[in-house]
Amino acid sequence: MSVSIASSSGVLPQRLPTRRRGYARTEEVSNAEDVASSFEQVTAKVNGQSLRLLCTVPTWSSSPMHCLDLHDLHDLRNRSIVFVHELLKLLRASGIQATYRLVPSSVDLATISISASETSSKQQLPIDHDLLATAQDTEHGKTLLARTREGPVIIMT
């Protein structure tokens, strides 16, 4: 298993502007099995055999929206790491070589998306701020799947 941790230069902004374009719909999911097929489909379109995921993990958040204290933040980090490991296990079982990269974030959400190198872009694709702002309005402890133009995005509150 390959794990890398990015520098703090990739940190997401603390408070997100709210501009709603609404092109991505979200649905609540309960486990990694609910989202594995979305990632498998994108992998089949791109190269068919490998996939690198980008996972943002909250390191601190001053927003009391989802993380009231460090225990909530720790719980969110744990849930996101367990979720990504379950997703990797499912993807590997289907024959996809999957790895992930951790990026620190100051937003009280954890995200899992496809790394830009998988979509042939030179820069990292940012997760849409409108999508994150919508997720910030979601109840604590939820896992959402959004299907965007760039591929599936998992957001954990």
| Within-domain flag for 119 | yes
The pLDDT of residue 20 is above 50: no
- Greatest mean pLDDT among 55-59, 60-64, 104-108 lies in 55-59
Residue range 101-151, pLDDT digits in tens: 999 988 888 999 998 664 444 444 456 667 777 766 677 788 999 888 888
| Within-domain flag for 1 | no
How many Å separate Cα 76 from the centre of its chain? 12
* One-character DSSP codes across 75-126: HHHHHHHHHHHHHHHHHHHTT-EEEEEEEEESSS-EEEEE-GGGGT-SSPPP
Q: Who contacts 2 (Cβ-Cβ below 8 Å, separation ≥6)?
A: 99, 100
| Within-domain flag for 103 | yes
Q: What angle do CA 125, 135, 19 make, to 5 degrees?
A: 70
Domain containing 113 equals: 19-156
Q: Do 99 and 2 meet the contact criterion of CB atoms below 8 Å apart?
A: yes
Radius of gyration from C-alpha coordinates of the chain: 15
Domain count, the chain: 1
Phi, psi of 35 (to 5 degrees): -115, -15
> Model-level pTM?
0.73
| Within-domain flag for 91 | yes
